[in-house]
A and B are shown apart, each in its own frame.
Chain A
Amino acid sequence: MYSLSAKQLSSLVKEGKISAVEVTRYFLKRAEAIDPSVKAFLTLFPEKALAKAHAIDEKIKQGKSVGKLAGVPVAIKDNIHIESELTTCASKFLADYKAPFSATAVRRIEEEDGILLGKTNLDEFAMGSSTETSAFFETRNPWNLSCTPGGSSGGSAAAVASRIAPLSIGSDTGGSIRQPASFCGTFGFKPTYGRISRYGLVAFGSSFDQIGPFANYAEDIALMMDVLAGHCPLDSTSIADSKEDFSASLSQGVENMTIGVPRNLLKELDPSLIDLFNNAINEYVKMGVKVVEIDIPLIKYSIPLYYILAIAEASTNLARFDGILFSKRSTKAKTLKEVYEYSKEEGFGKEVKRRILLGTYVLSAGHQDAYYKKAQKVRRLLIEDFKRIFQTCDAVVLPTVPSAAFELGAIKNPLEMYLQDIYTIFANLAGLPAISMPIGLDKNQKPFGLQISSAQMQDAKVLRLSAALEQQLKLQTCPPLFAKEFS
């Protein structure tokens, strides 16, 4: 059953060929067998999941209609609220924080009869590229347990890759969905900024953050977009006409599309990875896609831009965690000032502190113009660059990450870790839709991902290009360790 797509599973459930309870029990069993070694989940909801499955089976028995995700387990990154469950953001600060409401994305999954399976691990407050900054534990890569699954949505990627859950959601501020998708050999999609409501997502960099799905098949990403996209009055950055029939648009073909490849960005890539990339591009050529070489000169400023703007926003957003309202207060604090200082000292990990301090620096008197304002101007120039490119190209194609998954503990230098996002950040800077999809294994049998991005609101085009390549490549994408039944 693990190799079925979410779409297939929900069809079987709807047709009464298998019950939602059987599906849920099956994936809970996989969680029990696999998660002790992968450690993708912070919490699982076996009782609630089975209760919901029973309710769906009951509806089907009574001949009532059921939703698009009928009986399909979905894992939720632990910075997205599920009412009355913990939202820890993998931080000691929020270790006891219970969400007072559900995120719109979660509500939509429930309304379509998806089954909330559990909450997944992440880098603390989504700050990191490896899940190593989680205050609780590291998640492991299902392809190679000594490697990182990537991050920050490492748990959501690993849960889907190891087939503990057919679907999951994560959040992406600079690559936090796409980089782990690449490392774990799954599909991970960051939609256009504003297409999925962020109500109930704990804010990191508000002009960058976007919720998006993980799945093992392009059709499942489209299915999730059918469920998740749509205007939400509770999110002031939610686009009015966000809904679209993504599933139907998959079959429209890619012939005569034009993709742009910025070749000069690939110079330092390992030759075996270049081969995988070129192979994918050749498949597009075979399908009648036109490939042109492009230049994006300002992309080299992505990381400086991100580490000024996103971190400035983060330092502002995280100021609310001050020991007054949310979960944690230091027991040694006697005065109000000490409440702030000791609660933050004890509650935040090193990476979060580093970013708050750096964000405070770029926003402080005397530095704001040189850093923050300057970056906002360069951001506009970068966006204009992309507008020009999308006048002639349907999509920009790049590797998702310059490498395959690295060993846990291998990257100690923060700047080196930040460079993980060198190919992904531009999509957040410009609010573009971008997907990472598996295109094969490197010489060490680790997955490698291709990133396809397009202009704002061209999400369907991105999905169509990924579905076409998936069909052409016909890869086996389940990690060998877990490509078996555990019943």
Chain B
Amino acid sequence: MSEFNKETLRHLETLCRVKCTEEEEEMFVENIKTILDYIDRLSEVDTENVKPLYSVLEAVHLPVREDVAKEPMDRQTLLNNAPASTAGMVRVPPVI
């Protein structure tokens, strides 16, 4: 499963919108190939009839809080961290 090449990496870059420099691409292809070779050993384990595990607390009761409306956090405090905002909203470049 290690046919990992620059094309695969570029496809991933598009999927997660992480752009890499030329130099990073060279390095990541090599790194990820090695890591994939290493993690491929998982296929040795027989997992026939085993259910996937989603939470390590699946047998533990986790209480859920009451579904009651609360005062939201102050809008301006949140907007202060946005790189650009206007009229109480986050500003982004035109989408259409």
Contacts and interface: CB of A to CB of B under 8 A. Distances in A.
Chains A and B bind each other: yes
Interface of A: 96-98, 100-101, 193-194, 207, 231, 233-234, 236-240, 298, 301, 303-305, 307-308, 315, 319, 322-329, 333-342, 344-345, 348, 350, 353-354, 356-358, 360-361, 364, 367, 370-371, 373-381, 383, 413-415, 418, 429-431, 456
Contacts of A334: 93
Interface in B19-42: 19-21, 24, 27-28, 31-32, 34-36, 38-42
Contacts of B56: 193, 207, 383, 429-431, 456
A336 B18 contact: no
Query: Chain B contact residues: over half helix, strand or loop, or mixed?
Result: loop
A379 B53 contact: yes
A98 B80 contact: yes
Contact of A239 (B27, B32, B57, B64): B57
Interface residues of B, number: 57
Contacts of A237: 55, 57, 62
Given A96-B81, A361-B4, 6 more contacts: A236-B62, A324-B83, A334-B93, A342-B19, A350-B24, A378-B50
A341 B38 contact: no
Contact of A381 (B31, B39, B45, B61): B45
Contacts of A193: 56-57
Interface string B64-96: 110000000110011011111000001011110
Contacts of A431: 56-57
A337 B84 CA distance: 16
B43 to A, nearest CB: 7
A426 to B, nearest CB: 11
Contacts of A414: 31, 34-35
Nearest to A240: B63
Nearest to A319: B16
Given A354-B31, A364-B12, A381 B47 contact: yes
Contact of B77 (A100, A315, A375): A100
A249 B1 CA distance: 51
A354 B9 CA distance: 10
Given A240-B61, A323-B83, A415-B35, A377 B18 contact: no
A337 B1 CA distance: 31
A335 B93 contact: yes
10 contacts: A100-B74, A100-B78, A236-B62, A327-B81, A350-B27, A353-B18, A377-B52, A414-B31, A414-B34, A456-B56
Contacts of B20: 345, 353, 357
Contacts of A348: 18
Name which of B35, B38, B39 has the most chain A CB atoms within 10 A of its CB.
B39
B95 A336 contact: yes
Contacts of A456: 56-57, 60
Given A101-B73, A303-B38, A376-B52, A325 B82 contact: yes
